[in-house]
Amino acid sequence: MIRILHFITDTNIGGAGRLLCSQIKHMESKDFEIYVALPKGSMLCSKIRDLPCSALELSHGADRSLDSLSILEALKVIRSIRPDIVHSHGSLSSRIAATLLGIPCRVFTRHCVFPLPSSLTNPISKIILGSTNNVLSTSVIAVAESARQNLVDMGCDNKKIRTIINGVDPLRELSEDEKDICRKAYGITRRNFVISIFARLEEYKGHRTLLEAADICKRYYPNFKFLIVGDGSQKEELIALAKKLQLDSTVIFTGFCDDVAPIFNITHLNVNCSYGTETSSLALSEGMSLGIPAVASDYGGNTHMVKNAVNGLLFPAKNADALAMAIIRMYRDTDLYSKCSAGALRRYEAEFTAQAMSKRMEEFYKTEYAIRKK
């Protein structure tokens, strides 16, 4: 049995946490003994405890990749668990601790993609960053090819990187009566065409672009409803912008939803407006599991997940006019919508299931363990 110790620093439930939960849920428990170290009080704690693993709550390092106290705490945890593999998610502290203790398999996952400034890609920075990653990690997981390229651009050894695309469980389908209950909760009827975005309310997720597109769409199609699902630091600013654009009857802020299935079930278009951090979006995969076409920016991993006129449409990031045109096209062209709906479900089943992701992770762990054990 292979003993794996995960370190994750998130106090909220973001993509990395949901991905980790999905992975653990579908792994063969007879082959792996899994531990998850995470911040005390994290929203992930209750979800981790429901999985076939052991949760270890940490006092230091919440939402921080590196600090001296979290290194010391990680050293203590690793000595206690004595894992075969330490797998870090946004925790440089645990990677340092695992290296100091000589753990033979040290893995970290690159969950995000950002445009890299020249200060991180010049020759000197590439040597420093690349050497750091190459020394602290024996292997690296990239959740999309765009994440792999991000790592290579910062000097990480391409031979150490394994791309394993994110996967999710299919969302449950609701009856029409259940859908009506959800619609009523948000003041929506069956006559409305619902466009939803499921993302943290942070600047790089592009909600401003969506609001500007909603302002364009409402002039021509007052039956459009836009649902903004999530919470974050930009919440008040986005609400103020919606009021300024007089979108009170068009845009609905739902806040954070632990169970997004009901909203997905009343959604006609699944929108992703990111211009930073997007790799292989879990929300896009979840929408595809219900056959919901996507309209997504041409940033990062979106171009891999969404194929134009196959399972959705792409638009240039930050371009509200292009986004509005894409939404209207999907609404008006019923043949295209039907084609993309069927294509979304096919693409999900072929590439984005949680079982497929977990199977690839199992194979990765076993291979790494066998190599390093020698």
Residue range 126-183, pLDDT digits in tens: 888 888 888 999 999 999 888 898 899 889 999 999 999 989 999 999 999 999 999 9
- How does the average pLDDT of the chain come out, rounded? 94
Give the rounded percent of residues in the chain with a pLDDT score beyond 70. 100
**Cβ contacts of residue 268 below 8 Å, gap of 6+?**
193, 194, 195, 292, 331
Average pLDDT over residues 216-234: 96
What is the tens place of the pLDDT at every residue in 312-337?
Answer: 999 999 999 999 999 999 999 999 99
Give strand pairing partners of 108. Answer: 88, 140
pTM for the model? 0.83
pLDDT at res. 4: 98
Residue 14 has pLDDT above 90, yes or no: no
Residue 120 has pLDDT above 80, yes or no: no
- Rounded Cα–Cα distance for residues 364 and 163 (Å): 10
Cα dihedral 147→151→153→156 (10° resolution): -160
pLDDT at res. 90: 87
Domains of the chain with bracketed CATH: 2-168+354-373 (3.40.50.2000), 176-351 (3.40.50.2000)
Closest CA to 116 of 163, 148, 157, 154: 154
Residue 212 has pLDDT above 90, yes or no: yes
pLDDT at res. 268: 98
What is the tens place of the pLDDT at every residue in 244-296?
Answer: 999 999 999 999 998 999 999 999 999 999 998 788 899 999 999 999 999 99
pLDDT band at 310 (very low <50, low <70, confident <90, very high): very high
What is the tens place of the pLDDT at every residue in 342-353?
Answer: 999 999 999 999
pLDDT at res. 76: 98
Count of helices and strands (H, E) across the chain? 16, 13
pLDDT at res. 374: 61
pLDDT at res. 93: 97
Residue 1 has pLDDT above 70, yes or no: yes
- Rounded Cα–Cα distance for residues 280 and 113 (Å): 10
pLDDT at res. 300: 87
pLDDT at res. 208: 98
- Rounded Cα–Cα distance for residues 92 and 109 (Å): 11
